């Protein structure tokens, strides 16, 4: 990405911080390399050559080629070599400044002279061992899922599930179940001395949560827009495939439904969010979350105005919110492969584009993506009415959203239209007819419901006062 003169001024004005550092053109290459590796292990940043002092004095460089070569030397002295865009030269006030950009989400963990550093403020500090281990796993340098599960044996695997999975695969020849699980990263070792990996326990274990705490889903439906004391909760554990199936059932049971009616009164029910979109987000969370984090599980929260799926751990590798539609990277490729074999996900894509398209088809806003302090959250919002009025006029948490030929109607109006479409009926309805269908509703509400259908050009009122009745608008009466 090109930097303009105005951008350069803004960077210098901002001052040194965790993403900005500058050097004179005679600075040691080792100092530059330390800063560049620390930024690469953190959130990326910008290195300037030709700027000095705490306030950012533009002194320029004597020879731009030498300054560019100095930065390249620093990048190549890092292990592994830091591959970034070529430095850019900007002239300002007759002086040349060389800029090197280090993008966020670099693919490796970088060291300089055997030291692993991170950027904190304007300092380069050693990475603490726990942070280094986490970074190594996050960037795919080591895989938590293919590590053997401490304390586990083959007795901890559900072999009926493993055999069913192996039998569903094609192209495996005469491979045994154990050999297939080794190929899929679910077992480690050789014949006679196999041990389950974390992926194997998560996918086929008898009791995965005994070994990997937090590998579960908390699903809850709240009555309002916020967390209140009125909610339905389900704690979902077991293997990952079982969790997905049970969480899908939770969504079917707790997402609100809307009804669309045609002229033949054929009912088509839609959930408040496209079910496939909700399912994609759920499966993605299970497939791509950071299972090293044991203090929290996936949270599937459904509120009155939105649905949230929160996963422990940030976005993996080079994936950012800005490139999430296009970038492809998984911290759990073994889990992704097995879930794909089982038909849960498309392995070549994470479904973000599909979720966006499905929301658009239902005239809902695009999903919102946000990184939290300890994880990643996707939010779906609905634009439906916040309350339902049922046949008795009382409010219900489970919203009713009905339509007739694209026009919104309530349940009593649907009952009236069903009465008019009934086989062998008189094709007319009176206030008394609808009152008989909805005996607990006040007569004034009945009158207003029928009058509203007239206003919406669905019904036509015939006759006067006590002799009045209603017919479908396309009828001649």
What string of DSSP letters covers 406-473? TEEE-HHHHHHHHHHHSTT--S-B-HHHHHHHSTTS-HHHHHHHHHHHHHTTSEEEES-GGG-EEEET
Residues paired with residue 86 on neighbouring β-strands, in sequence order: none
Residue 2 half-sphere exposure toward CB, CA atoms < 13 A: 3
pLDDT category of residue 404 using cuts at 50, 70 and 90: confident
How far is residue 183 CA from its own chain's centroid?
A: 29
Q: What are phi and psi of 34, to 5 degrees?
A: -60, -45
The 8-class DSSP code of residue 43 comes to T
pLDDT category of residue 389 using cuts at 50, 70 and 90: very low
Element (H, E) at 198: helix 198-204
Least Cα distance to 336 among 280, 279, 286, 278 occurs for 286
Taking 70 as the threshold, does the pLDDT of residue 304 lie above it? yes
| Cα separation, 217 vs 344, whole angstroms | 17
Lowest mean pLDDT among 170-179, 248-257, 414-423: 414-423
The pTM of the full predicted model, rounded to 2 decimals, is: 0.60
Taking 90 as the threshold, does the pLDDT of residue 79 lie above it? yes
Tokens of 409: 């109607």
- As a whole number, the mean pLDDT across the chain is 86
Query: What are the structural domains of the chain?
Result: 5-138 (3.30.950.30), 154-208 (no CATH), 217-381 (3.30.565.60), 388-472 (1.10.10.10)
* Cβ–Cβ under 8 Å, residues 210 and 239: no
Residue 73 half-sphere exposure toward CB, CA atoms < 13 A: 12
Between 374 and 8, the higher pLDDT residue = 8
Taking 70 as the threshold, does the pLDDT of residue 139 lie above it? yes
How far is residue 429 CA from its own chain's centroid?
A: 49
| Cα separation, 128 vs 51, whole angstroms | 31
Say what the pLDDT of residue 230 is.
Answer: 81
Task: Give the residue-averaged pLDDT of 160-185.
Answer: 92
| Cα separation, 468 vs 476, whole angstroms | 15
Say what the pLDDT of residue 268 is.
Answer: 56
| Cα separation, 197 vs 144, whole angstroms | 9
Say what the pLDDT of residue 347 is.
Answer: 44
Lowest mean pLDDT among 63-77, 92-106, 133-147, 260-274: 260-274
Least Cα distance to 187 among 212, 211, 154 occurs for 154
Taking 90 as the threshold, does the pLDDT of residue 325 lie above it? no
Per DSSP, the three-state class of 290 is: coil
Task: Give the residue-averaged pLDDT of 410-431.
Answer: 81
Tokens of 215: 């590998």
| Cα separation, 338 vs 240, whole angstroms | 10
| Cα separation, 454 vs 473, whole angstroms | 8
Say what the pLDDT of residue 398 is.
Answer: 42
Q: What are phi and psi of 227, to 5 degrees?
A: -70, 120
Say what the pLDDT of residue 391 is.
Answer: 46
Taking 70 as the threshold, does the pLDDT of residue 1 lie above it? no
Helix 333-341 vs helix 240-254: crossing angle, to nearest 10: 70
Taking CA atoms, 11 is separated from 102, 123, 246, 351, in Å, by 14, 17, 50, 37
Give Cβ neighbours of residue 198 (< 8 Å, ≥ 6 apart): 144, 145, 146, 147, 148, 149, 211, 212, 291
Taking 70 as the threshold, does the pLDDT of residue 349 lie above it? no
Per DSSP, the three-state class of 250 is: helix
Least Cα distance to 219 among 238, 208, 228, 232 occurs for 232
Taking 80 as the threshold, does the pLDDT of residue 229 lie above it? yes
Least Cα distance to 217 among 165, 156, 291 occurs for 291
| Cα separation, 351 vs 275, whole angstroms | 13
- Residues 446, 451, 455, CA angle at the centre, nearest 5°? 150
Say what the pLDDT of residue 396 is.
Answer: 40
Say what the pLDDT of residue 426 is.
Answer: 66
């Amino acid at each position: 990405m090109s930097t303009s003169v105005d951008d350069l001024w803004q960077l210098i004005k901002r001052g040194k911080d965790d993403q900005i550092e500058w050097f004179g053109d005679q600075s040691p290459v080792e100092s530059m390399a330390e800063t560049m590796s620390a930024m690469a292990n953190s959130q990326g940043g910008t290195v300037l050559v030709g700027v000095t002092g705490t306030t950012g004095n533009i002194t320029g460089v004597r020879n731009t080629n030498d300054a560019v070569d100095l930065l390249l030397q620093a990048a190549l002295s890092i292990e592994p070599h830091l591959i970034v865009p070529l430095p850019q030269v900007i002239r300002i006030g007759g002086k040349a400044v060389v800029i090197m950009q280090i993008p966020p989400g670099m693919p490796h963990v970088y060291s300089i002279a055997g030291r692993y550093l991170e950027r904190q403020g304007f300092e380069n500090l050693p990475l603490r061992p726990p942070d280094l281990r986490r970074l190594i796993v996050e960037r795919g340098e080591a895989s938590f899922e293919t590590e053997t599960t401490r304390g586990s044996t083959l007795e901890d695997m559900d072999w009926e599930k493993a055999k069913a999975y192996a039998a569903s695969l094609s192209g495996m020849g005469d491979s045994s179940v154990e050999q297939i699980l080794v190929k899929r990263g679910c077992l480690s070792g050789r014949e006679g001395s196999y041990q389950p990996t974390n992926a194997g326990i998560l996918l086929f274990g008898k009791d995965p949560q005994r070994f990997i705490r937090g590998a579960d889903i908390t699903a809850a439906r709240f009555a309002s827009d916020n967390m209140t004391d009125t909610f339905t909760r389900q704690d979902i554990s077991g293997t990952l495939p079982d969790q997905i199936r049970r969480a899908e059932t939770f969504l079917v049971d707790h997402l609100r439904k809307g009804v669309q009616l045609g002229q033949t009164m054929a009912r088509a029910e839609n959930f408040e969010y496209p079910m496939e979109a909700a399912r994609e987000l759920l499966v993605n969370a299970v497939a791509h979350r950071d299972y090293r984090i044991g203090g929290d599980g996936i949270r599937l929260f459904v509120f009155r105005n939105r649905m949230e799926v929160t996963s422990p751990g940030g976005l993996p590798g080079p994936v950012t919110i800005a490139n999430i539609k296009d970038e492809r990277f998984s911290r759990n490729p073994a889990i992704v492969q097995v879930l794909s074999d089982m038909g849960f996900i498309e392995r070549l894509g994470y479904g973000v584009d599909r979720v966006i398209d499905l929301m658009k088809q239902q005239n809902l806003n695009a999903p919102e993506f946000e990184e939290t302090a300890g994880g990643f959250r996707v939010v779906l919002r609905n634009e439906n009415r916040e309350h339902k009025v049922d046949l008795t006029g009382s409010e219900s948490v489970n919203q009713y959203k009905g339509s007739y030929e694209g026009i919104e109607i309530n349940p009593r109006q649907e009952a009236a239209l069903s009465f008019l479409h009934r086989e062998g009926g008189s094709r007319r309805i009176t206030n008394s007819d609808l009152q008989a269908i909805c005996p607990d509703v006040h007569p004034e509400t009945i009158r207003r419901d029928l009058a509203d259908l007239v206003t919406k050009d669905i019904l036509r009122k015939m006759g006067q006062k006590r002799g009045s009745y209603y017919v479908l608008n396309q009828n001649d009466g």
